[in-house]
Amino acid sequence: MSKKVLLSGIQSSGKAHIGNYFGAMKQFVDLSETYDCFIMIADYHALHSLQNPKEMKENIINLLLDYLAVELDPKKVVLFKQSDISEHTELTWIFDTIVTMPYLMRAHAFKDAEAKNKEIDVGTFNYPVLMATDILLYSPDVVPVGADQKQHVEISRDIAEKFNRIYGETFKIPEVLIMKEVAVVPGTDGRKMSKSYGNTIPLFAEYEEIKKCVMSIVTDSSGERPENVYAIHKLLRPESELKKIYEKKAGKYKELKELLIEDLEKFIAPMRERRKNFEKDIKGALAILAEGGERAKKVASAKMAEVREKIGVNVY
Ligand code: TYM
């Protein structure tokens, strides 16, 4: 029996952080044994926030190295770049003709931008549709993501169902996969860890940077336990162990932060070293990405041929 299919991706819009790792990347690695995996560098998604070709290239390569350093094995996983597969943008247009504006106006990202009175580009408005094509072209059974992406996967399900209703059974309806304990990894200020809040701990931080991030964790002096420190710490140690330590060191915030620094360093150091090794052979890493692109293209173009047939443009 063939394996079930998993698809997911990350925007190449800056440094990966431990929220990306625990919320998403770790699942990619853990599940790569049991699923056929497609893991994407979502570079076209990054275009909203990045209009600098040099940085764009750097970010793509950085995310590729990150994927390799967390031990995504290219033998088990198809690692590819969104912009290598033109079917993503082609299918987006077709979906655009069946998705309504009021429907997309309910998306969180749009509402947030609107609440801030931002002038929104069409790409930002349409973002969930591009993400739906990212997913549906590969017929995945599951899409592992953090909680912030849940609505986007739900939108992809709605779009698949609508297309299937209009044109006949074409797309598999994907399931979102969110690990409860890491659905929202908090940042150094207790809010969701996010590049846009400036509250991240970079996944490949050097020791000094780890120290700086941990020392900046906002602590609340009202309780015995510094909750923001604890919330990050429990990603690294079992809670049964951690609770005892925090009870023993009740009120000793500095010592607890020092322990967190050590635990983060132990966790990050091997990945950081692996990443440095991959950095020595960028060409080799890019060859892996190009090869993954060829494999992804085969799957996407077969699905696209089916779509063209279904909508009636295939007249030859
Ligand atoms: P992105 O690049 O913002 O984030 C990548 C993944 O990391 C998860 N994540 C978190 N999980 C838990 N706690 C956090 N603090 C945290 N911060 C980020 C995100 O939920 C996500 O799973 N649009 C997507 C990328 C994308 C994609 C796709 C994902 C493009 N096409 C197709 C799945 C399928 C994004 O911007 O994620």
State the distance from the centre of ligand 1 to the C-alpha of 23, rounded, in angstroms.
8
Give pLDDT tens digits along the chain (316 positions).
689 999 999 999 999 999 999 999 999 999 999 999 999 999 999 998 899 999 999 999 999 999 999 999 999 999 999 999 999 999 999 999 999 999 999 998 888 888 888 888 899 899 999 999 999 999 999 999 999 999 999 999 999 999 999 999 999 999 999 999 999 999 999 999 999 899 999 999 999 999 999 999 998 766 778 999 999 999 999 999 999 999 999 888 899 999 999 999 999 999 999 999 999 999 999 999 999 999 999 999 999 999 999 999 999 9
What the chain holds in terms of domains, given with CATH numbers, is: 4-183+282-311 (3.40.50.620), 195-277 (1.10.240.10)
131 lines ligand 1 (CB under 6 A): yes
Alpha-carbon Rg for the chain, nearest whole angstrom, is: 21
Pocket test for ligand 1, best of 148, 172, 188 (most atoms within 8 A of CB): 148
24 lines ligand 1 (CB under 6 A): yes
Pocket test for ligand 1, best of 5, 6, 8, 10 (most atoms within 8 A of CB): 10
107 lines ligand 1 (CB under 6 A): no
State the distance from the centre of ligand 1 to the C-alpha of 233, rounded, in angstroms.
21
Q: Which atom from ligand 1 is nearest to the alpha carbon of 195?
A: 17
**Per the structure block, which two tokens stand in for 41?**
């560098």
State the distance from the centre of ligand 1 to the C-alpha of 129, rounded, in angstroms.
15
pTM above 0.85, yes or no: yes
Nearest CA residue ID for atom 24, ligand 1: 10
19 lines ligand 1 (CB under 6 A): yes
Q: What DSSP letter does each residue of 151-193 carry, written as one string? A: HHHHHHHHHHHHHHHHH-S-S--PEEE--GGGSS-B-TTSSBP
Which pLDDT does position 221 carry in this prediction? Answer: 67
SS3 content of the chain, % helix, strand, coil (to 5): 60, 10, 30
**Per the structure block, which two tokens stand in for 28?**
């990619």
